Homo-oligomer: A and B are copies of this chain.
Amino acid sequence: MIDRLSLNQKTTELWPLPETLEGCAAAGLRWVGLWREHVAPFGVERVAEMVRAAGLRVSTLCRGGFFPADTDAGWKANVEENHRVLEEAAALGTDTVVLVCGGIAGGDLERSRDQVAAGIEAIVPRARELGVRLAIEPLHPMYCADRSVIVTLRQALEIAERFPAGVVGVTIDTFHLWWDPEIWDLLGRAGPRIFSYQVCDWLDPLPDVLMGRGMMGDGVIDFRRFTDAVIAAGYDGPIEVEIFNHDVWNTPGEEVLATMIDRYLRLVSPG
C-alpha cells in the first residue's frame, strides 16, 4: 500500500516539475511534496491545475520560516514573505506549510530563537484565515547556525503549544530527530500536532553536512520504530520521502521512484 507515500520533490531535485508529476502518477502515488522555487517558474495556479490533472494532491509546501534577521525591518520582511508562502499553499490546495525556521542572525542565538517564535505568532492569524497549518520542522543541530535555531522536538513543541492544536504543529523528519534520546517520549506528547512525517536515512559515516542524506535502508535509522510511534501518536497523513543527495539527484526520476517505493514498503510503511 502506497496510498500514504509522497515524493518530496527535493528527492528528485533535477527532475522538471511536469515530468515529476507524470512520474508520480504513473508510479501510482497519490501525493507529492512541492518546493516554492520549483513552483514559481510555472506559477501557483498553473501548478495547481497540473497537480489536479495528474490525479495528485500536494502533501506539503516547502518551505516557510527563515524568520531571524539582523534588523526589525528584516524580520518584518521575513514575516511578509511567509504570508506569501501561506497564500501559495492555499492556492496549491495543501493544508500544510513546512517551516524551516532560520539560523542565527546578528550573532545572537537567543534573540534569533525569540524572532522565530514571534514570527510564527505573527503569521498565525493569516494561516487560520486560509486554513493552512504551520508545521515547525526541528532540524538536526548541525544546522543550528545557518538553517534552524529550532533543533529539538521539545523546542518545536514548546512553541507550537502556545497556539491552537489545529494551527501550529511539527514536522517529524527522521534524519533530523533520530539521535534525540527524548524523541520516543515526545512523539506521544506531539500527538495531534504532528502535521507532517518525512523520512530519509542517516548514512554512517555522514559524507557531507548538507548533501549526505540517504535512501531508507542505506543508513542507521530504525524506520519501523519511527513509523509505529508516529502512527501511535495519531498521525494519519501522508509520509514524504525527502533526500538531499547528489547521487540520488543524478539518478533518473523513475528509478528513484521505484527504489523509494520498494524501500518504503519494506521499511517504512505503516502496513
Contacts and interface: CB of A to CB of B under 8 A. Distances in A.
Q: Chain A: interface residue count, which band? A: 20 to 34
Most chain B beta-carbon contacts within 10 A, residue among A154, A155, A181, A204: A181
Interface stretch (A125-133, A143-151, A255-263): A143-151
Contacts of A25: none
Contacts of A109: 178, 220, 222
Given A109-B220, A181-B152, A204 B142 contact: no
A271 interface: no
Interface in A165-207: 178-181, 202, 204-207
A141 B202 CA distance: 12
A144 B181 CA distance: 11
A145 B220 CA distance: 7
Q: Chain A binding site: helix, strand, loop or mixed by DSSP?
A: loop
A141 to B, nearest CB: 4
A153 to B, nearest CB: 11
B206 A145 contact: yes
A140 interface: yes
A142 B206 contact: yes
Nearest to A219: B145
Interface string A152-165: 10110000000000
Contacts of A154: 181
A210 to B, nearest CB: 8
Most chain B beta-carbon contacts within 10 A, residue among A140, A141, A207, A219: A141
A103 B220 CA distance: 11
Interface in A197-230: 202, 204-209, 212, 219-220, 222
Interface in A104-120: 104, 107, 109, 113
Contacts of A155: 181
B205 A145 contact: yes
A63 B183 CA distance: 29
Contact of A142 (B140, B181, B220): B140
Nearest to A155: B181
Given A141-B141, A155-B181, 18 more contacts: A104-B220, A107-B220, A109-B222, A113-B181, A140-B142, A141-B179, A141-B180, A142-B142, A144-B178, A144-B179, A145-B202, A145-B205, A145-B206, A152-B180, A152-B181, A205-B209, A207-B209, A209-B209
Closest 8 pairs (CB-CB, A-B): A145-B204, A144-B179, A141-B179, A142-B142, A146-B205, A145-B220, A141-B141, A206-B209
